[in-house]
Each structure stands twice: as structure tokens, then as C-alpha cells.
Amino acid sequence: MWHFFFRLAFILLVLPITAIADDTAQTPMIEQGRLLSYLADKSAFTLIDARSPEEFRASHVDGAINIPHSALDAHRQQLPEDLDGAILIYCKTGVRAGKLAEALRRLGYHNVEVLPSKQLMFYSDMVVFNCGAKS
């Protein structure tokens, strides 16, 4: 009988996580040159970190602004005025970044992309682009 409950728990807990991972795996890679140009002069796009303020304080990509996916209204003044300007959003798995990207598109932003999680590297107190990630 306990095998049944174990299998049920596995289905309810693990499969949704797998589905989330599969969704983020479908996010197209960002061109390496774009990431490198951002690191050189920060003007290639607006970089938004969709994680919580606590996560952002602990570590973030240099030059990123923090707009938590669940607090867009409180941070609208940080958004660029140009609705056609390039915006690149990241979080740890791509889920929160995807939610924020959709919200920005509903606000009229046209050039919004999500940085795939495999193009980020998280090391204790540092987040950096993984410019050598393979698609």
C-alpha cells in the first residue's frame, strides 16, 4: 500500500518540476555576442532580474535592475520608456522571468526575451552569464 502513496507523491511532486524544466529548455539561446557586448558596455539591452529582492541583494549580474515578477506595478518607474527597446530578463530557472516577460508584453513592450537558465551560472554570491553555453 505504501508503494501506491510513494508513486502518487512522485507523480504529484516530481513530474511538475520536470515539466517546468522542459519548458525552460525550450527557451531559445541568446546570441553569445549580445551577452558579451552587454558585459562590455551595458547598452545592448535592459537587463532585468526577476528574482526576489533578497536573491538580488545576495547576487546579480552587474548592471541588472531588480523587478520581481510578482511586484511589477511597484517597479514600473524602473522600466525603459522605449517600448521597442531590447529587454532581457533572467531568474534562476526561467519560470519567473517568463511570467515577467508576459506581463511586460501585455504592457506593450515588443522586444522582450528570457535568458535561458543554462546561459547563467550561479556561484554562491555571484551570478554571471554563461557565454559559452551550447544550444
Active site residues: 91
The residues facing 47 across adjacent strands are: 88
Strands (E) across the chain are located at 46-49, 65-66, 87-90, 112-114, 120-123, 126-129
Residue partners of 58: CB distance under 8 A and separation at least 6: 125
Query: Of 111, 113, 112, 122, whose CA–CA distance to 56 is shortest?
Result: 122
